[in-house]
Amino acid sequence: MTFSYSGKLAVLYEGLGDLAAYQQLAGRLSVPLRSVSMPGYDQQESFFLCWREGSLKLIDRQLLRKGGMAVEIEPRPGEQRSWPAPKTGALAQAIGRKTKTVIDATTGWGQDSLHIFRMGYELRCIERSPVMLELLADAFARLTQLDWVSRLKLEPPELIPGNAIAVLSELEHAPDCIYLDPMFPPKRKKSALAKKSMTVLRDLLGDDEDKDQLFAAAMKATAKKVVVKSPDDVEPLGGAPHESFSGKLLRYDVYLKV
Ligand SMILES: C[S@@+](CC[C@H](N)C(=O)[O-])C[C@H]1O[C@@H](n2cnc3c(N)ncnc32)[C@H](O)[C@@H]1O
């Protein structure tokens, strides 16, 4: 799949920082570089990328004067800050205590990946969207600077660019678990819609239409199991799962390799 962000995305230079880094980012993504010093800079694209407060951020036009969204590397409220964090909750139950190695094949905003990383699993991350890869690479570089990460000399998860369907078919070492969280079309009423970060992802990338092939590739490539996260009101991706663990408005379906 080739990505074209034509008319949708630009890199925005706000007059601060190293212009060359902005030029290179725009070049890597093949999108225009806009500058706030040019009239009408915000009239053509709906999304912008720029560095604010030390993080690469994705900003939609309506929120251009507010913060923007970066891959959040701090634990979410209530999550343990020790490492490895306790393996509690529905995600940990689905991945399981006997699992050591995990591949997140749909990394997105990296929130599930970072949760898995904090619980001490050995993690590799696949993502196909070039813009999400830029946001993730920026976040994983920031991760190495966190106190607890550098103190424990932890390496950030390996980030593998590409379509997971192809990447998984060429793995040298099968992981114990492959984790999938593809984008499902929204079914709920607006009030119950996903978080802003997820709606932005859908606006920018669209739904993941090849979920069935991804599931098949994951079942083939895993050593032990595949875990699929989905909204609680959609059919299980791979038919009846072996086990299922419920979270808030979502489900983790577990498929064992037999
Ligand atoms: C719903 S988001 C994942 C959110 C993520 N679990 C989190 O915690 O932020 C789905 C992501 O998976 C990626 N994706 C979907 N299918 C993929 C595939 N076949 N190969 C690689 N990435 C894929 C999409 O580009 C998107 O960024």
CA of 211 to the centre of ligand 1 (A): 10
pLDDT at 140 over 90: yes
Is residue 219 a part of any domain in this protein? yes
Averaged confidence pLDDT in the chain: 92
Distance 202 CA to ligand 1 centre (A): 10
Q: State if residue 132 touches ligand 1 by the CB under 6 angstroms criterion.
A: yes
Q: Is the pLDDT of residue 95 over 90?
A: yes
Could you tell me the pLDDT band of residue 7, with boundaries at 50, 70 and 90? confident
Residue 80 predicted with pLDDT over 70: no
Mark whether 117 and 54 lie in a shared domain.
Answer: no
Task: Supply the DSSP symbol for 74.
Answer: S
Q: Are residue 178 and residue 96 in the same domain, yes or no?
A: yes
The percentage of the chain sitting over the pLDDT mark of 70, rounded to a whole number, equals 95
**20 has pLDDT over 70:** yes
192 pLDDT higher than 50:
no
On whether both 231 and 103 belong to a single domain, the answer is: yes
Decide: 197 and 70 in contact? Cβ < 8 Å.
no
Residues 157 and 31 in one domain: no
* 215 and 101 share one domain: yes
| Average pLDDT estimate for 17-45 | 96
Q: Is residue 145 part of a domain?
A: yes
Is any ligand 1 atom within 6 A of the Cβ of residue 106?
yes
Range of the domain at 156: 90-256
Mean pLDDT for the stretch of residues 73-77: 82
Written as six digits, the tokens of 222 are 């895993």
Hey, what are 40's tokens? 């009408």
Residue 243 vs residue 192, higher pLDDT:
243
| In a shared domain, residues 160 and 245 | yes
The span from the CA of 87 to the CA of 242, in Å, is 20
Verify that 101 and 30 share a domain, yes or no.
Answer: no
Task: Establish whether residue 51 lines the binding site of ligand 1, counting it when its CB lies within 6 angstroms of any ligand atom.
Answer: no
Give the residue, 189 or 89, on which the prediction is more confident: 89
Kindly state whether residues 52 and 94 are assigned to the same domain.
no
Within 10 A of 127 (CB to CB), how many other CB atoms are there? 26
Question: Does a structural domain hold residue 236?
Answer: yes
Q: Is residue 79 part of a domain?
A: no
What's the structural domain count of the chain?
2
Lowest mean pLDDT among 57-66, 92-101, 138-147: 57-66
Judge residue 49's burial from the number of C-beta atoms within 10 Å of its C-beta, 0-12 exposed, 13-18 middle, 19 or more buried. buried
User: From the CB of residue 67, how many other CB atoms can be counted at a distance below 10 Å?
Assistant: 11
Q: Which tops the pLDDT comparison, 142 or 249?
A: 142
**Is the sign of the CA dihedral 105, 178, 240, 93 positive or negative?**
negative
pLDDT (0 to 100) of residue 131: 96
State the CATH number of the domain containing residue 44: 3.40.120
Q: In the predicted model, what is the mean pLDDT of residues 205-233?
A: 95
Q: Are 120 and 223 contained in the same domain?
A: yes
| Ligand 1 touching residue 109 (CB < 6 A) | yes
Is 70 a domain residue?
no
* One domain, residues 101 and 52: no
Q: Are residues 122 and 212 in the same domain?
A: yes
Q: Ligand 1 within 6 A of 60 CB?
A: no
Flag whether pLDDT at 1 surpasses 60.
no
User: Domain containing 227 — which CATH number?
Assistant: 3.40.50.150
Do the domain assignments include residue 55? Answer: yes
Q: Do 54 and 105 lie in a common domain?
A: no
**pLDDT for 125:** 98
